[in-house]
Amino acid sequence: MRKLGIFFAAALTALLIPLQAHAVTGWRIVGSDNARPLDEGQGLATVTRGGTTTYRYTGTTTIPLDLLVGGWNHVGDPGAAGGWYVEPYQRDDRGAKLYRVQSPTGKWSNYKHALELWEASNNSFSAVSPDVRWMVTGEWGTMDRLLVLPMPGVGATNPAQNLPYASAIRLNHQVRDIQGCDFVTATQLLCASDDPDGTLFGTTKPLLQVDLSAPVGTTDVTGTVTSLGQLPLQSACTGTFEVEGIDYYEPDATLRVIVLSPSICITTDSKTYRFQQ
Q: What is the pLDDT of residue 19?
A: 43
Q: Which portions of the chain are predicted below pLDDT 50?
A: 1-21
Q: What is the pLDDT of residue 38?
A: 97
Q: What is the pLDDT of residue 9?
A: 36
CATH 3.30.450 fits 2-276, yes or no: no
Q: What is the pLDDT of residue 245?
A: 98
3-state secondary structure (DSSP) of residue 106: coil
Predicted TM-score (pTM) of the model is 0.92
Q: What is the pLDDT of residue 23?
A: 64
Closest C-alpha to 220, from 154, 157, 144: 144
In 19-78 the beta strands, taken as DSSP E runs, fall at 28-34, 43-49, 52-58, 74-75
Q: What is the pLDDT of residue 79?
A: 98
Q: Rounded CA gap, 219 and 93, in Å? A: 29
Query: Which neighbouring-strand residues pair with 232?
Result: none
